[in-house]
Amino acid sequence: MTADLRKGRMGLQACLLGLFALILSGKCSYSPEPDQRRTLPPGWVSLGRADPEEELSLTFALRQQNLERLSELLLLPGAEFHHYVGGPTETHVVRSPRPYQLPQALAPHVDFVGGLHRFPPTSSLRQRPEPQVTGTVGLHLGVTPSVIRKRYNLTSQDVGSGTSNNSQACAQFLEQYFHDSDLAQFMRLFGGNFAHQASVTRVVGQQGRGRAGIEASLDVQYLMSAGANISTWVYSSPGRHEGQEPFLQWLMLLSNESALPHVHTVSYGDEEDSLSSAYIQRVNTELMKAAARGLTLLFASGDSGAGCWSVSGRHQFRPTFPASSPYVTTVGGTSFQEPFLITNEIVDYISGGGFSNVFPRPSYQEEAVAKFLSSSPHLPPSSYFNASGRAYPDVAALSDGYWVVSNRVPIPWVSGTSASTPVFGGLLSLINEHRILSGRPPLGFLNPRLYQQHGAGLFDVTHGCHASCLDEEVEGQGFCSGPGWDPVTGWGTPNFPALLKTLLNP
């Protein structure tokens, strides 16, 4: 690092410390987040003030202009933090009881300051649940790479060339890690009939030690078997943003690199209402920037159907983010119509989907969504969802009954859109392989093309509904699939030869 670079970095660090001190000193007069509260949310108890020397992790989300104004700040003493405990798992956090404020001159250049006030939602205090592991059903032997390849009409020749010209990636959060030994064993067991790579090309971030997680194992193993013989990266982001996934930290890693994999799959998400509006909007801006760079971003639609929560005693559906972002391609889930046969697919009842309460419906999906709303015979009550919001998912793939190797143990019947997302991403990487070899650019942001071509190249899933709440007493169905696009399986699941033909040309 040159002396000038070191000086610049030290100056920025000093400016951020000055900003931090000003915020807590109470000498400023502007707060960009009107929803900040000085009172504790229900279920939290103060354990007393934190030691002034205790290390804290805060998120300063600066708007990316006029950063030189930070140099006007001075380092001031006087920060106050307290320990709190709450939630069903007695989670401990450190937060400030004082409102934060910014100078009038600085306020237009700061989106938000995270880690000061907001408490993790009680529904997200736990470690993210592993993908669902179900019991044996009938004679079904479970979904493996060969089952995926047969259902979606891939041949042994449908693999990557193994060069560095094409690459793909998955992102891991919430202390989920994979093991190289698990990947190698998985490929020995299930990768014998197609060319593949036996190891991850690059890990970006901190790869923790200890036990492997089923989530991370699932993502890596099926991204690398669906997108077979394609260079694969894993982004591993430590820590949490206010108790939840550090999506912004991951996106900053992408923003700061010039050469990136073309396809990124993410099997994580949070309820929209559990995140601050400023944080959602900033993450969404970064997703838009990534899409503008030509990256294909796929997110799992979630495993709670339409979701359900109570507002003033009335139930409403609960959309998830980043699945609800208009700048990502969201993947729902299906299962085989017959549990032991490779046959037609129906809705997997856990498949997440619905309508955003934050983002309006983008123009690229206006026609498809309007048609669904006007023709579906099984719409839930209109008060349950925001019909004008961004609708998701966009596509789907099998999400039920997967085999995974984790901690050297083959585990059957793992289910969730955490499985369908890397599968769909891997197939898009194979299509990128053809595009790159023929001199075309990678696919990039996929949604406008998907909707313009009305789901060409996909198997339309027309049977089944996903779960949610229909009244105050019992859980019931949310939305149901039908011909064309629907908010359960999107346009459907991949028919690889047809999808390749559809997406190969510019």
d(CA 407, CA 262): 29
d(CA 74, CA 479): 55
Annotation says 375 is catalytic:
no
Active-site residue, selected from the candidate residues 130, 182, 219, 270:
219
Active-site residue, selected from the candidate residues 124, 356, 406, 418:
418
**Angle (nearest 5°) at CA 12 between 7 and 13:** 95
Query: Which residue in the block uniquely carries the two structure tokens 């023929």?
Result: 438
Active-site residue, selected from the candidate residues 158, 182, 215, 245:
215
d(CA 326, CA 279): 16
d(CA 425, CA 353): 18
**Angle (nearest 5°) at CA 271 between 267 and 277:** 115
DSSP conformational letter for 332: E
Element (H, E) at 9: helix 3-25
d(CA 471, CA 83): 39
DSSP conformational letter for 17: H
For 285-342, give the DSSP string: HHHHHHHHTT-EEEEE--SSTTB-EEETTEEE---EETTT-TTSEEEEEEEESSTTSS
The SS3 assignment for 69 reads helix
- Please, are residues 331 and 343 in contact by the beta-carbon 8 Å criterion? no
d(CA 478, CA 378): 9
The SS3 assignment for 123 reads helix
Annotation says 219 is catalytic:
yes
The SS3 assignment for 408 reads coil
Strand partners, 232: 168
Distances (CA, A) of 412 to 128, 313, 354, 375, 499: 20, 40, 29, 39, 29
Annotation says 31 is catalytic:
no
Among candidate residues 306, 325, 326, 332, the one with its CA nearest the CA of residue 492: 332
d(CA 89, CA 86): 7
d(CA 318, CA 24): 34
Residue 243 falls in which region: left (phi positive, over 0), alpha (psi -120 to 50) or beta: left
HSE-CB of 501 using CA atoms within 13 angstroms = 6
d(CA 193, CA 491): 30
Strand partners, 392: 354
d(CA 113, CA 109): 12
Catalytic residues: 215, 219, 418
